[in-house]
Amino acid sequence: MKKVASISANDDWTLDVCFANGELRRYDVSPLLQREAFRGLEDAAMFKTARNGGYFVAWDNDADLSADTLYQEGAPLPPTFHPT
As a whole-number percent, the residues of the chain with pLDDT over 90 amount to 90
Q: Is position 35 within any domain?
A: yes
**pLDDT reading at 35 higher than 80:** yes
Q: Looking at residue 78, what is its pLDDT? A: 84
pLDDT in tens, 2-27: 999 999 999 999 999 999 999 999 99
Q: Is the pTM of this model over 0.85?
A: yes
Q: Spell 33-60 as b/e; 16+ CB within 10 A means b.
A: eeeeebebbeeeebbeebebeeebbebe
pLDDT band at 32 (very low <50, low <70, confident <90, very high): very high
Q: Looking at residue 79, what is its pLDDT? A: 72
Measure the CA–CA gap between 33 and 42, rounded to whole angstroms: 6
Q: Is position 45 within any domain?
A: yes
Q: Is the dihedral of CA 53, 58, 63, 64 positive or negative?
A: negative
Structural domain that includes position 53: 4-76
Widest Cα–Cα separation across the chain: 36
Q: Is position 81 within any domain?
A: no
What total of structural domains would you count in the chain?
1
Q: Read off the CATH number of the domain in which 16 is found.
A: 3.30.2020.10
Q: Is position 83 within any domain?
A: no
Q: Is position 19 within any domain?
A: yes
